[in-house]
Each structure stands twice: as C-alpha cells, then as structure tokens.
Structure 1
Amino acid sequence: MHPPDADSVLVRHGELGVKSDQVRRKMEHQLADNLRAMLDARDLPGDIDQRRNRLFIHTDHPEGVTAAAADTFGVTSASAVATTDPTLSEIADTLAETTREQYDGGTFAVEARRAGPPSAHPFSSSDIESTGGTAVGETITDMGGEPVVDLDEPDFELFVECRADKAYVFCEKRAGPGGLPLGTQRPVVALVSGGIDSPVAAWKLMKRGAPVIPVYVDLGDYGGPDHRARARSTVETLAAYAPGHDLSLSVVDAGDVVADLSEDLGSLRMLALRRFMLAVAEAIARERDAVGIVTGEAIGQKSSQTSANIAVTDAATTLPVHRPNLTVDKSEITDRARAIGTFEDSTIDTGCNRVAPSHPETNASLEAVRAAEPDDLLDRAEARARDRAVVPIES
C-alpha cells in the first residue's frame, strides 16, 4: 500500500548509523551497490540517492522496488513515498490525497518525524501531526465516514518524514531483514545439506554481511539424486538474496568415504563424517580466502550435535565454526526457513539418515574418534576438496 503519487522508495538501515563516519560511508556504498544489483536482477528501474542514514530510490515502480529493498540485507524497512514540499499545507494536501485513495474504514493516526535543526522549518513534528490529522479527519468525513483517532493501534496509519528540502508521505513500513550489507564482512564457507537447518544458518551469516561459499558433500548412494537436487535448490533460493555475489555450489564427492565409515566405525561414524566435512570446508576456505565455516547445527538436536560431540568434530579444523542456530529450537528454525523460502525444498527425507547408526555415540572423546577413524581421513578430505566440481548458480 502506498500513496497514489509515490515516486520514490525510502530505505532505512539500522546498525550502519552507529558506525564511525568512515565505516558508515563504506557500508552505505556497499548497500547501495547491493540494492542496484537487486533491482537489476528483478528488472526494476530506479535511481539510488545516498543520504546520511537514509537511501532513496527514485522510481515509477514503487511496489516492486519496495519489495526488492525489503529483501536486501542491511535494510531494516522500506516505504514507498510521495515526495512533496516541506510545508504544512503541502504535507496536509498529500496526506488528504493518500487518505482518499487508501482509506477503507476504521481508526486512523498520523505519525511525523522532522529532521534537521529547528531553523529548518517553522513548525515541529507535533504541528505536522496536528495539521495532518485534521486534514485526514476532514477527508474521512467528506468520504462519508466518521473519523476516530487511535494512536496505539490504528487501522489506518500515515507517516511523514520531513527534511530540510523535501517531505515524504507514506502509509507502510515494510520490514527488511536488517543486519549488515552483504559484502561488508569476509566470506565464510557454508556446509549445506539442503536440510532445513543449514540454509537458515547460511542466510543468517549473509544477514551479518558475510558472503557464503556453499559446499555440498555428496554422500553418493547414501544420498541420491533427490538429496543433491535439494541442496542445489536451497542454494538457488539463497542466491536470490545476493545478486552480484557468487554463490556457485562446490560439490565434493564422498560416496566411497561414507561407505568406508559406515562399514568400519559403528557408533562413531557420524562424528568421523562430520570431521571429514569440516576438513573439506577448511581446505576450500584456504583456497578461497574465507575466514570461517558455518553449519546448521544446534546443541542436542542430533546425536552428533551434543556439546561433547561438537567439541570432537571441531578439532578437525583450525578455523572458527559459526553455528547461528546453536541455541535455537527446531520450530524457530523451521519458521525462519518458511520465511526465507527454503523450507519446501528442505523437507525431502535426508540421505544421511541411512548413515546414522542405530545406537550413536552421544558423549564421544576425541581420542576414541581419532583411534577409530582412518588415519588418512583428513588428508582425503583435502584431496576431495581440490577435485570438487563447481556448479554455477543463477542469482
């Protein structure tokens, strides 16, 4: 929902505003670049105007551009706005026009924010709300309604942001993902299985500004074509949030490794497999100048994810392993997967269920796992990482 004469989209960011001027400017430039890439990917026209703590996208497609901005990391909210002169009369007229177009009954409220020194305008934010509220109320009366103000939970809310040179009227704040612009942090390798958890974890690292390098460890006959297709599909969904950034999927063949571990390791085989995967991720990270690994693990969700077993698997890598789902309940992870669009492709039964032993170890020691696993397991991981296939992913 937007004013009838909406000509721009107001883009807000959060944490960037508390950074030093040098860092803030750098991050705002990255955000502008990411917005440009997002618009290009969706074939939407728009000219991006950077201002301190705000960006404006001037466009004749306000609805589509608002949706695109609201999918961009670093954006806290976006609003399609009608631009007008920063005078009480012009603001009131624009509020009245918007009411005639969009009001369909119920209570209303006007919320205003005036930016700049007191000398910038001969009125206050309260004056805008009072004058604007009167204009809206009169318009509702002219439409045959009965104007009732509700400042707490209005059915119809209008907003005004008044700056020194222009004022902006809007009737919606569409929430964005927040976080930091993608590309403002160093990259990390994301181990993706295509299950519910790992794409959510990768998305959360992207939200904090870190590009991800997706890696899928192919389980061979223990996974199968559905397992591989699911992993690729979830990465394609993640790539839609990151146009302009390379999310090509690295596929590492490990079918024979899984077969060997399943035959020889008994209750410890899932831990050895996790260690193999982390070693693969570290080898790729070194090659790609990445600084960490991200997984979808949560404490206690699976036998290999107990606090004791995580300590055992982490010993296979010298890089930090980021687990943004670590303390999150499965229901919350599932809700996030639905919200970002990865849930549907993540719900095919996972092939690694065939790898898991009937009675897995939940309190392993590093010494026991090292003694049981093949001596060359981590060396094989590095070799397989070098021989991996890279699948281009369209953003």
Structure 2
Amino acid sequence: MYGFVVIKYSEIGTKGKNRKIFESKLMNNIVLQLNHSVKVKKIYGRIIVFPKDNIKIDKKMLYSLKKVFGIKSISPAIEVEKDYNDIKNKIIWLLKENHVESGTFKIDARRTDKSFPIRSFDLNKKLGEDILNEFNKLTVDVHKPEYLIKVEIRQELSFVYFENIECFAGYPVGAGGKASIMLSGGIDSPVAAWTMMKRGLKLNAISFYSPPSNGEKTIFKLLELSKKLSEFYPFNFYHYIIPFTEVQMAIKKLKKDSYSLIMQRRSMLRIASKLAWHTGSAALITGENLGQVASQTLENMITISEATDMLILRPLIGYEKLDIVRKSKEIGTYDISILPYKDSCVAFLPKSPATKSFVDKIKLMENKIEDIKTLELNALNNSLVYIIKNGSIIDNYVFSEKEGLNNE
C-alpha cells in the first residue's frame, strides 16, 4: 500500500555544521533498529525509509520506528508524479484505501521544487475542491481537521500522506557518548536510563543482587527491565549483574547498622566505576530522586558520591514521583518494576537508616572492613553478563570467563 516512511526530526534540525553527524547517526540507528530490512535516504529536513525486497510497511515496522530516539514523527507515504492529476488521484485512492468517507480535512501542500507550475496556495485550493466533489460527506476545517493531508513537492521526491505518528524525539543513541546505568529493580532507574538514551547516550546496565536472599527471581526482573529498555536501543545492550552478598556481610560485621546502607551504596559506586571505565563509559547514571529515601538526602548523596571520581548523572533528581510513575507506564517498565522481588539493598536494609552522614566518619568505618577491595573485585569478576537485542537475550557469560579485572 505505502511505498516508504517519511521521518521528521526536531532538535537535530537546530544543529549547525555538525547536523550531518546527527542525521547520519539517526539513519544508521534506523537501519539497525529494523535489522537491515530497510534502506534510508536523506533529503532536506527529512529522512525517507524504504523497505527492502517484499517487506511491507506494517504496524510492526511503524512500532519499531517509533522507538528510535531522534525521530519526532513518522508518516507512511506514497510517491506521486509531479503532475496535478496524479497527485489528486493518489490522494483519493489513499483516502478510500483507509476507508475515509466522512469527517473534516485540510490540504497542506508544500512546493519546494519551484519548477512545479502550481503554487502551494493554489494547489491547496484546487485539491480541496476536487476532494469535496469526490467525497460529499467530507468538509473542510483549516483549524482542527480530522485528516491533515500533506503534499510535498520536492526536487528529489514528491509524496503524499495524512498519518502523522508522534514519536519521542530527542537525539539518536550514540550521539552523546556512553555511560553506565546503575539499574535497580525499582521504578526510577529504568526511567533514568530511558531518559538518558533519549538524550543520545549509549548505555550498558550495572545491577547488584544478593544470593541467597534474592536470586533467580531478582535476576529475572532485572533482565525483563533490560529487555524492555533494549527495545529503544539499536545496539547490543550489555547488562552486568553483580553478586554483592560477601561485601554486604563484611559491612554487616561492623555492626554500624544505621550507616550500613550508605557504605553499601559507596561500595556499589566503586565497583560500578571500575566496570564503567572498563566498558568505555564516561559517566554513571542513577535513578536517585532528592529526599525520596534515606540514602537520597543531600547529605547522604554527597557522602556516597565521594566514593568515585566518575561523573554521576541524576536525570530524575527533581522529578515528582507521580511524574516518574507516569513515564514508567508510558515506556512499559512499570509493571515489571512493581514485581515483588527484592533488590540487593532491600535484602540488607537496616531498620533505621541514617538520613545524614559525614565522609570522614564513613571512611573510618570502611577502613575497618577487612579486604574490602578484594571482596569488591571478586564480586565484579563473578558478575553475570547478558547481551540483549530487541527484547531478547542473545548471549550470556560470567565476567571473569571473557573479560576479568585485577586490583591494578
């Protein structure tokens, strides 16, 4: 039915001399997202997606395209000749094919190819008259039409369409560098990951679990979150799941219960930073939200952050919780996040966690933990690694089997 899909973008269009770089990344991501089943062509202000061979433009393809960051909207379209009668007949065919018989419409024609003899204003008027003659139950509404019929007369290609499917916009993944998301099983961190992918960051995920307090069900939940996020990610998505029990037990032996959560978070940051550097990430991302829980007071975030020199991005720091919940429902992670499987910190959650801490005091406590660096390195080397693509696990292994790190 349709010959190709017209891609529009917004923020990319504001770029100057480096605009071509963003357009190129977006085109590459489209091809990767659709598993090389399409070809792409750039015309000014638009990207055109052509299906290969006998592949049809269907709901599945449009659903996949909608999840490519950098795209503002998608419109399945049909090519027209630079001939008035062909344009008119294609519009009539398109409306009939979509069973449009009544309602309101507007013609919006743009003629960037000035060799076409009819001016845009006149083309709008003439096509509108012919559509009214063909469909006696349709009426014109230039302000809020039910069907906005677009006609683009360009030098490279001319086409018509009336569907305009809104997407998530942002920047193409990979345009903004790489970071590692500290992905818990909660509501916030998947939204933080999604938000930073939308800003163009490539990601991998780092999670912790505490066997035997939590095990297979926790890993299942974490992987389901990664699978959902990978639907918005055109590359292979790496997820590192780190066993944290030995570190937690060593912290527990200090019998500094109210500060144990802060020390756990600091240890997680040290491990995550080591792994992030190893994977080429320039920053860590968390789902922290100021004041939401004891470890996320300003004083405790300062103490926890001191454990690493790596930049920590907190995209949700000032969000309302209800806004985060709404976004998690929109992107499809909410129902996974509320599964009743404990994450690592919940397994060792103190009864009365401190809401205020001081770096020097916490460091004195940490110095009493025997072989903390060795325990953290062992945890990292024993981590489970999963590679995920388009919602499916394509490979998995133990970190030390293929990568592995030492204390240097």
Give the TM-score of the pair, scaled to structure 1: 0.89
Match status 1:113 vs 2:106: no
Amino acid at match of 1:177: F
> Identity percentage over the alignment?
23
Q: Which runs of 5+ in 2 are unaligned?
A: 391-408
State the 1:110 CA deviation: 2.2
**Cα distance in 1 for residues equivalent to 2:354 and 2:118:** 70
Q: Which amino acid aligns with 1:239?
A: S
Structure 2 counterpart SS, 1:184: coil
Q: CA deviation at 1:76?
A: 1.2
- CA offsets per residue over residues 336-360 of structure 1, 9 Å max, x none? 2222222222112333334322222
Matched, 1:70 2:66: yes
1:18 aligns with 2:20: no
What is the CA deviation profile of residues 96-138 of structure 1, one whole-angstrom value per residue up to 9, with x for unaligned ones?
222223314322222233335xx34333332332222222222
Structure-to-structure mapping, 1:1-395, within 5 angstroms: 5-21=1-17, 23-40=18-35, 45-59=37-51, 61-63=56-58, 64-102=60-98, 103-115=100-112, 119-141=114-136, 145=137, 147-243=138-234, 245-262=235-252, 264-349=255-340, 350-351=342-343, 352-375=345-368, 377=372, 380-395=375-390
1:23-74 alpha-carbon deviations (Å, 9 max, x no partner)? 2222222222211111117xxx422212233211123522233322211111
Distance 2:128 2:368 in 1: 75
Amino acid aligned to 1:73: F
Q: Deviations over 1:217-241 (max 9, x none)?
A: 1222343322221111111221222
In 2, Cα distance between equivalents of 1:197 and 1:363 = 22
Which stretch has the larger CA shift, 311-320 or 162-171?
A: 162-171
Cα shift readout 1:153-181 (whole Å, capped 9, x = no counterpart): 22232222221243221111112221111
Point out the more displaced range, 32-41 or 225-234.
32-41
List structure 1 segments (4+ residues) > 6 angstroms apart after TM superposition: none
Bigger drift between 265-274 and 63-72 goes to 63-72
> Which deviations, in whole Å up to 9, do the C-alpha atoms of 1:251-301 show, x marking residues without a partner?
211112223334523122221111111111110111122100011111122
Q: Secondary structure at 2:135's aligned position in 1?
A: helix
**Counterparts of 1:15 and 1:335, CA distance in 2:** 24
Q: Are the equivalent residues in 2 in contact too, given 1:279–1:378 (CA < 8 A)?
A: no
Question: What displacement does 1:84 show?
Answer: 0.4
**Partners of 1:226 and 1:134 in 2: CA distance:** 63
What is the CA-CA distance between 1:315 and the residue it aligns to? Answer: 0.8
Contact 1:215 1:250 in 2 (8 A): yes
- Of stretches 10-19 and 313-322 in structure 1, the one that deviates more from structure 2 is 10-19
Worse-matched range after superposition: 378-387 or 182-191: 378-387
SS at match of 2:267: helix
Output the CA distance in 2 between the equivalents of 1:288 and 1:251. 14
Pair 1:155–1:358, CA change in 2 (3 A): same
Q: Output the CA distance in 2 between the equivalents of 1:258 and 1:120.
A: 73
SS in 2 for 1:95: helix
Distance 1:260 1:128 in 2: 76
Question: Which whole-Å CA distance do the structure 2 matches of 1:134 and 1:322 have between them?
Answer: 55
| Contact 2:283 2:312 (8 Å CA) reproduced | yes
Amino acid at match of 1:214: A
For residues 270 and 112 of structure 2, the distance between their equivalents in structure 1, rounded to whole angstroms, comes to 52
Relative to the length of structure 2, the TM-score reads 0.86
Structure-2 change in CA distance of 1:381 and 1:115 (3 Å): farther
Give the letter aligned to residue 300 of structure 1: G
Q: Are residues 336 and 169 of structure 1, via their aligned partners in 2, closer, same or farther at CA, if it must alter by over 3 Å? A: same
**Higher helix proportion:** 1
Alignment CA distance shift 1:135-1:378 (3 Å): farther
CA contact (8 A) 2:22 2:172 kept: yes
Q: State which drifts further: 217-226 or 202-211.
A: 217-226
Q: Specify whether residues 215 and 130 from structure 1 end up closer, same or farther in structure 2 by C-alpha distance, changes over 3 A only.
A: same
The answer (yes or no) to whether the contact 1:190–1:294 under 8 Å persists in 2 is yes
What secondary structure sits across from 1:107 in the alignment?
A: strand
Contact preservation (8 Å) 1:195, 1:231: no
Shift, 1:79, TM fit: 0.6
- 1:301 and 1:112 map into 2 onto residues whose CA distance is 51
